[in-house]
Amino acid sequence: MYKLLSQQMHIKKIAIIGAGPAGLMAAEVLSQSANASFEIHVFEQKPSAARKFLMAGKTGLNISHVEPFEQFIQRYDQVEWLKPWVKKWDAAWIQNWMQGLGIESYVGSSGRIFPIEMKAAPLLRTWLKRLMEQGVKFHYRHQIMNLADNQLTILDQKNQQQFEQQFDAIVLACGAVSWSRLGSDGAWQKWLNADVIENFQPSNAGVERKWSSYMQTVFGQPLKRVDAWIDNQPKTQGDIVISHYGLESGLIYKQGRALRALQKAGQLMVLHLDLLPDQSIEQLAQKLQASKKQSMSNVWRKAGLDNAKSNLVRELVDKSIWHDPEQLALQIKNLVIALDDFRPIEEAISCAGGVRENALNQHLQLKSNPYVFCCGEMLDWDAPTGGYLLTACFATGRAAGEGVVQYLQLDASSPKSQAV
């Protein structure tokens, strides 16, 4: 009887790899779990926690988004997979959670949720303090060199000492492969079988297009209020910045999923723009009718083409139709831009690709290694900016934490663990 009780009271050691939003949420679930004796260790190879989270919050931490759930969930490419978790830990839950940390939030005019202080640092500071008070142990500058079953090979970067340690469960919250200097270097991929990982691609990234020297005068200038679309996809409206390497902006990021599909199919990446969406082709053609007294530049300006839009038309539209109002109007309303590629993945705000859904069970537990759970951006899902990325990182982190709790409680109650 004594042996049985001591085994049931056995403290379970859990390792969480990565101190970003997903890893911290997993730690929170585990540290607050009732009727469980967990020793929680968070390993982070950088000198401090959540560096990408802090970077994202420098200009204002957009933590989630207020909109009807059915609209919200459609922002993700893996709707059915993420749906239960994002619904359980939605924008309203996040706002309540922030309030529990003493951080008040507000909703901006576009539906984006921010802390009133705007910055990420106060929230992170309070969150880490609470986790430490709940017994979570943080090991900074500790790099995981290898994972085999339930054993980690760990390098203490402070003294360059390497050691091995076994855990009852391991949560991988290692991030994807962009912004590697902030910690997400993708080194974890070598610990898993290659067939469980969908290749990473840039997401929420600019696109490349070689311009002629003629375009140099408008580098850094915006194409204001344009419609953008790919193939037969719905149009979305916003601004696009012309850069020396191509095009950049949130509106470009929204086209990423459709552009990646073209790239994956071996087709040309082609972007369509309507430079003057508030005018019909007929209205525009009428305005483009030149008079003898006006220069072409003046006619275009009066029709609504500012300097950036005019230069783009000159760059892309054959000179032979510049003086044909009907044909030119058609081009301006459907300007076709052949793109070369995405910007390098290192620069991308986030990544598509990662650990595939079919490699995990419903608790985000690896089918090939039941000791291991995965969460956050290292999973194969994608979303636009606007608070959707953080929402899914929080939700999958909590789901993985709950998965660990269930796994260890089942393990503790199994006949094998009770046999003496």
Span of 124-133, 386-395, 407-416 with lowest mean pLDDT: 407-416
**pLDDT tier for residue 416 given thresholds of 50, 70 and 90:** very low
The domain in which residue 256 lies consists of: 207-342
Tokens of 82: 């993420």
Q: In terms of domains, do 50 and 190 share one?
A: yes
As for how many domains the chain has, the answer is 2
257-307 pLDDT, tens digit per residue, is: 999 999 999 999 999 999 999 999 999 999 999 877 889 999 999 999 999
Q: In terms of domains, do 237 and 108 share one?
A: no
Q: In terms of domains, do 41 and 61 share one?
A: yes
Instruction: Give yes or no for a contact between 401 and 409, defined as CB atoms under 8 angstroms apart.
Output: no
Pick the last residue of a domain from 342, 366, 383. 342
In three-state form (DSSP H/G/I as H, E/B as E, the rest C), the secondary structure along 89-109 is CCHHHHHHHHHHCCCCEEECC
Instruction: Give yes or no for a contact between 310 and 300, defined as CB atoms under 8 angstroms apart.
Output: yes
pLDDT recorded at residue 419: 32
Instruction: Give yes or no for a contact between 322 and 296, defined as CB atoms under 8 angstroms apart.
Output: yes
Q: What angle do CA 171, 198, 259 make, to 5 degrees?
A: 125
DSSP state string for 276-325: -TTS-HHHHHHHT---TTS-HHHHHHHHT--HHHHHHHHHHS-GGGTT-H
Pick the last residue of a domain from 316, 342, 368. 342
Q: In terms of domains, do 149 and 261 share one?
A: no
Q: What angle do CA 274, 280, 286 make, to 5 degrees?
A: 115
CATH for 134: 3.50.50.60
339-373 pLDDT, tens digit per residue, is: 999 999 999 999 999 999 999 999 999 999 999 99
Cβ neighbors of 271 (< 8 A, separation 6 or more) are 207, 228, 230, 247, 255, 259, 336, 337, 339
Instruction: Give yes or no for a contact between 86 and 72, defined as CB atoms under 8 angstroms apart.
Output: yes
pLDDT recorded at residue 418: 35
Q: In terms of domains, do 315 and 386 share one?
A: no
- pLDDT score of 148 more than 70: yes
pLDDT recorded at residue 173: 98
Nearest to 389 by CA among 96, 164, 76: 76
Nearest to 150 by CA among 137, 165, 163, 135: 165
pLDDT recorded at residue 5: 35
Q: In terms of domains, do 66 and 169 share one?
A: yes
CA 128 to the chain's CA centroid: 22
Q: In terms of domains, do 47 and 68 share one?
A: yes
Percentage of residues in the chain having pLDDT higher than 90: 91
pLDDT recorded at residue 203: 96
**pLDDT tier for residue 57 given thresholds of 50, 70 and 90:** confident
**Which amino acid is present at 134?**
Q
Q: In terms of domains, do 129 and 9 share one?
A: yes
- pLDDT score of 9 more than 90: no
pLDDT recorded at residue 1: 35
Q: In terms of domains, do 227 and 328 share one?
A: yes
Q: In terms of domains, do 8 and 131 share one?
A: yes
**pLDDT tier for residue 62 given thresholds of 50, 70 and 90:** very high
pLDDT recorded at residue 311: 98
Pick the last residue of a domain from 298, 315, 342. 342
Q: In terms of domains, do 155 and 35 share one?
A: yes
Percentage of residues in the chain having pLDDT higher than 70: 95
pTM, two decimals, is 0.91
Nearest to 288 by CA among 333, 322, 336: 322
- The chain-wide mean pLDDT, for the chain, equals 94
pLDDT recorded at residue 414: 60
Is 132 or 58 the better-scoring residue by pLDDT?
132
CB atoms within 10 A of CB 158: 11
